């Protein structure tokens, strides 16, 4: 009974979140030089550098005249005059393209696709202030803006553009695809529905009263920031763990706070990386990416999740609601973060077959 109570309490805590990461209301903890260093799994390769592809940093405008930053990967054996299929890759929510996105993009470029790993607005090298602002509409638009860019390159077959969304970007990619038929095939990996994660928490663990309290706190914080006060942050990966930390907290800490996947973007602070602003966080509560999935029509949807992932409920929900061609693929033995960078677990062959068939 005590164990079940502890789990429910933790799931309620996770419900007050905006990321696929463990909540810390405000930012608790410090960046400590003595923080626990957890050895990465032997097959973890987040900072993979392919010798088979060319890399180019690019920027392009979205509809709001903001620069979206990306890494463009092209196979080294491209033939002049040939138009290639393309795949856009979106990173986990709160992360940057150097965390998981670039790995997927390079691996898929090795299979003959031109790929584009993007930074969402307000994160990484993309425009947007205040930094770490939550804006589901602009996040989704970044994928359509990436289509604008790719579809106007003379070496891209613009009728053959697909998308991979990792973690929170899975829900943003689906949101974009619903109103952008130029995205011809949609794949998600370890997806979080960022709307449901904030409204209800994992396993529907957040009550309406708790949700109203979160909204009220964020609304009051708007006054502070409007008057020039200090920006407050929320959610994200914890900065400290100990023997009492929940396994989900440890799971994200192992990636985001260790050399395995740790990145501090230029101009950012280690204390704010992965943490969205508190005053904007509630915008996820108005985000419903799985509504009207029939808008995808006959475009195929591949949902990949670990069979041990705490987040698998979101992929299962999307699969249940999708009305077109769809597949829910479980990776045996994999947790949520395993599919960020563990190349021995990530089903790149499955993704390759999916996009070669549907692009």
- What single string gives the DSSP state of each residue in 277-298? BHHHHGGGGG--TTTTGGGGTT
| Distance, CA of 162 to CA of 354 (rounded, Å) | 10
pLDDT given for residue 13 in this prediction: 44
Q: What are phi and psi of 124, to 5 degrees?
A: 60, -130
* Tens-digit pLDDT profile for residues 231-241: 999 989 999 99
Give the mean pLDDT of 34-55: 92
pLDDT of 203: 83
pLDDT for 120: 98
- CA proximity to 249, closest of 2, 10, 41: 10
Indicate the number of domains in the chain. 1
Query: What pLDDT is recorded for position 246?
Result: 87
- Region 194-211 average pLDDT: 91
* pLDDT at 196 (0 to 100): 96
Show the DSSP H helices in the chain as ranges.
2-15, 101-109, 136-151, 169-178, 194-199, 208-226, 247-256, 278-281, 312-321, 338-341, 348-358
Q: Name the DSSP class of 185.
A: E
Tell which residue, 59, 253, 236, 90, has the closest CA to residue 163. 90
**Average pLDDT of the segment spanning 158-170:** 98
Model pLDDT, residue 22? 35
Distance between CA atoms of 321 and 301, rounded to whole angstroms?
Answer: 11
DSSP secondary structure letter of residue 112: T
Has residue 29 got a pLDDT over 60? no
Asked if 120 and 139 count as a contact pair (C-beta separation under 8 A), the reply is yes
Residue 350 has pLDDT above 70, yes or no: yes
Tens digits of residue pLDDT in 129-150: 999 999 999 999 999 999 999 9
pLDDT given for residue 34 in this prediction: 56
For the sheet with 53-61, list strands across it.
Answer: 53-61, 67-75, 114-118, 84-90, 156-166, 183-189, 301-306, 326-331
Is pLDDT larger for residue 22 or for residue 319?
319
Domain of 184, CATH number, reads: 3.40.50.1820
**What confidence tier does 201 reach under pLDDT thresholds 50, 70, 90?**
confident
pTM metric for this prediction: 0.92
How many Cα atoms occupy the beta-carbon half-sphere of 108 within 13 Å? 33
Q: Are residues 225 and 345 in contact, defined by beta-carbon separation less than 8 angstroms?
A: no
**pLDDT tops 60 at residue 9:** no
Residues 261/145, Cβ–Cβ less than 8 Å: no
Measured between alpha carbons, how far is 290 from 281 in angstroms, rounded to an integer? 19
Q: Which pLDDT belongs to residue 202? A: 84
Q: Residue 68 belongs to what domain range?
A: 2-358
Q: Provide the mean pLDDT of the chain.
A: 91
Q: Is 163 exposed, middle or buried (0-12, 13-18, 19+ CB in 10 A)?
A: buried
Give one word for 75, left, alpha or beta, with left for phi > 0 and alpha for psi -120 to 50. beta
The more confidently predicted of residues 24 and 35 is 35
- Low-confidence winner among 96-100, 234-238, 333-337 (lowest mean pLDDT): 234-238
């Amino acid at each position: 009974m005590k164990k079940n109570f502890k789990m429910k309490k933790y799931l309620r805590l996770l419900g007050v979140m905006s990321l696929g990461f463990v909540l810390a209301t405000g930012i608790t903890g410090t960046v400590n030089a003595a923080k626990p260093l957890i050895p990465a799994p032997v097959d973890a390769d987040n900072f993979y550098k392919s010798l088979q592809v060319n890399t180019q940093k690019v920027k392009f405008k979205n509809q709001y005249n903001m620069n979206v930053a990306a890494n463009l990967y092209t196979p080294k054996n491209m033939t002049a005059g040939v138009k290639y299929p393309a795949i856009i890759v979106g990173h986990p929510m709160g992360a940057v393209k150097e965390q998981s996105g670039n790995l997927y993009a390079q691996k898929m470029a090795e299979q003959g696709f031109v790929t584009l790993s993007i930074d969402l607005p307000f994160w990484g090298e993309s425009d947007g202030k205040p930094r770490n602002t939550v804006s589901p509409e602009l996040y989704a638009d970044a994928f359509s803006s990436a289509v604008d860019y790719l579809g106007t390159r003379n070496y891209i077959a613009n009728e053959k553009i697909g998308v991979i969304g990792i973690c929170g970007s899975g829900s943003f990619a689906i949101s974009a695809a619903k109103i952008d038929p130029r995205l011809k095939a949609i794949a998600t990996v370890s997806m979080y529905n960022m709307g449901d994660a904030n409204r209800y928490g994992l396993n529907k663990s957040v009550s309406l009263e708790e949700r109203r309290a979160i909204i009220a706190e964020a609304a009051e914080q708007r006054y502070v920031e409007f008057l020039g006060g200090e920006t407050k942050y929320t959610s994200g990966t914890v900065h400290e763990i100990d023997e009492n930390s929940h396994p989900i907290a440890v799971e994200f800490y192992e990636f985001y706070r260790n050399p395995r996947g740790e990145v501090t973007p230029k101009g950012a602070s280690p204390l704010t990386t992965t943490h969205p602003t508190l005053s904007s966080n509630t915008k996820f509560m108005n985000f419903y990416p799985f509504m009207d999935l029939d808008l995808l029509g006959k475009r195929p949807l591949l949902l990949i999740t670990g069979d041990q992932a705490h987040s698998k409920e979101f992929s299962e929900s999307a699969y249940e609601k999708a009305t077109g061609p769809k597949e829910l693929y479980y990776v045996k033995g994999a947790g949520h973060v395993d599919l960020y960078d563990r190349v021995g677990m990530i089903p790149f062959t499955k993704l390759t077959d999916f996009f070669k068939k549907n692009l």
